[in-house]
Structure 1
Amino acid sequence: MIGLYIFDCAKPQDGSPALSVSTIERRLFGLAANYRQRGLTLEMKDRHIASVWAGIKRQHGRPPVQKEPVTPEELLEMVATLTFGLRDMRDRAILLLGLCRGYGSLGNRRP
Structure 2
Amino acid sequence: MTFTHGGVTQATLTGANMSFVAFDNALQDIESTDDHTAMAGLLTTGGLTVDASTATDGLVMNYDLFSAAPNNMTIIGSDYQDTLVGGAGNDSFTPGENDGEEFIAGSLGNDTYDYTL
TM-score scaled by length of structure 2: 0.22
TM-score scaled by length of structure 1: 0.23
Bigger share in helix: 1
Q: Greater Rg, structure 1 or structure 2?
A: 1
